Amino acid sequence: MDLFMKCSIEEAEAGLREGGIPIGSVLVRNGQIISRGRNRRVQENNPILHAEIDCLINAGRIRNYSECTLYSTLMPCYLCAGAVVQFGIGKVVAGESVNFAGAREFLESHAVEVIDLDLEVCKEMMAAFIREHPDIWYEDIGET
């Protein structure tokens, strides 16, 4: 596992410790992390503060995202995939897509390179959360 996914996992773990959903994200350009984020919907009572959105907010304004890679512990949903496409992020690396398939086809249909690492640590962390907090999870994915 590379450093960038490890940092995404650290963000997910921090979110879980805060009482939130364990999804983390980092934005990388030229081999450097330029931003980090985590799902903070619960903590901030904000329905759109997914990990990838939090990460983009924390990055601030960037003139050109085309050479950026967005790492996330979970395959991005349509909300987050829409932001990736909107800003022209060229590559997404997901920790897993077993617990949530996300919007991979949407991303690829917009010429975004998508890599699914299928990491056990990401799958186990998300599966445990879903088992323990199904109400919060299904709210997060809009299936209440």
Q: Which of 52, 96, 113, 120 is catalytic?
A: 52
Token representation of residue 97: 């897509």
Which residue reads 């998300």 in tokens?
126
Q: In the chain, count of helices (H) and strands (E)?
A: 7, 5
Does residue 52 carry a catalytic annotation? yes
Q: Which amino acid is at 23?
A: I
**For residues 117, 47, 109 and 130, what is the CA-based torsion angle, rounded to 10 degrees?**
40
**Beta carbons within 8 Å of 17's beta carbon, 6+ residues apart:** none
Q: Which amino acid is at 39?
A: N
Burial of 14 (0-12, 13-18, 19+ CB in 10 A): middle
User: What residues are labeled active site?
Assistant: 52
